[in-house]
Amino acid sequence: QSVVTQPPSASGTPGQRVTISCSGSNSNIGSNYVYWYQQLPGTAPKLLIYRNNQRPSGVPDRFSGSKSGTSASLAISGLRSEDEADYFCAAWDDSLSGWVFGGGTELTVL
Amino acid sequence: QVQLVQSGSDLKKPGASVKVSCKASGYTFTSSGMNWVRQAPGQGLEWMGWINTKTGNPTYAQGFTGRFVFSLDTSVSTAYLQISSLKAEDTAVYYCARVDRDPLTGLYYFDYWGQGTLVTVSS
């Protein structure tokens, strides 16, 4: 069972906006930055968001991140079929002195 | 471009050992630490620890001491994960992941990942 909780699945239709949540605690999300990764089927995870809400170069601005307290969210606007993937969040945990990950959310584009 | 290419899937019997490789390219290997992450079937990701590619010093996360060894061959820009005395519960996909330093905060985070290596332990 993951220390950080994500919904196992999410879905939306093309063009819609979807949000994926990531819930943790004071020792991880509450006191450290959150990172988001996209994993397309059969490929390596790819960095989508760093430092809560920053996009690496090359990541479309349809992807955005936010954090409030011990929770974080990834929003995808203008949903496209190629966004169908697993998404997971990560944060450093001060109590564990290690990285913790959300269980991952499988996004389906209907 | 940065690439981390891992070795292929492996099937091992209980009690055997396995060595997973992670070959880096597109950057100076010793400039970034290398982490290992496990994903058991139907489970989330677990951080196993990391190895300092400059010094070779490994750090193991809780639950990954004893049977797990991180090592390097800097001459071929490759990191290794060796697991000994394999058990059925070691069946998982193992990822290597590079960390980079955020220049604004000085903190490190995973920026590139390998494609994963499935290790299956079965008699």
Q: Three-state DSSP class for B29? A: helix
- Cβ <8 Å between A56 and B111: yes
- Cβ <8 Å between B97 and A45: yes
Taking only the tens of pLDDT, chain A with its 110 residues reads: 678 999 999 999 999 999 999 999 999 999 999 999 999 988 889 999 999 999 999 999 999 999 999 999 999 999 999 999 999 999 999 999 999 999 999 999 99
Flag whether residue A92 sits within 8 Å of chain B, measured between CB atoms: yes
Residue B104 confidence (pLDDT): 86
Task: Considering only the beta carbons, identify the residue of B61, B97, B102 that sits closest to A98.
Answer: B61
Residue B107 confidence (pLDDT): 86
For residue B69 the two structure tokens come to 């060894």
Q: How far is A84 from chain B (nearest CA, A)?
A: 18
B62 CB neighbours in chain A (<8 A) are 96, 98
Q: How far is A12 from chain B (nearest CA, A)?
A: 23
* pLDDT tens-place string over residues B82-102: 999 999 999 999 999 999 888
Flag whether residue A8 sits within 8 Å of chain B, measured between CB atoms: no
Q: Three-state DSSP class for A43? A: coil
Q: Where are the beta strands (DSSP E) in chain B?
A: 3-6, 10-12, 18-25, 34-39, 45-51, 58-60, 68-73, 78-83, 92-101, 108-113, 117-121
Flag whether residue B45 sits within 8 Å of chain A, measured between CB atoms: yes
How many residue contacts between A and B have a Cβ separation below 8 Å?
63
Distance separating alpha carbons of residues A14 and A32, to the nearest angstrom: 33
N-to-C CA span, chain B:
40
Residues 40 to 59 of A: which have CB under 8 A from any B CB? 42-47, 50-51, 56
* pLDDT tens-place string over residues B45-73: 899 999 999 999 999 999 999 999 999 99
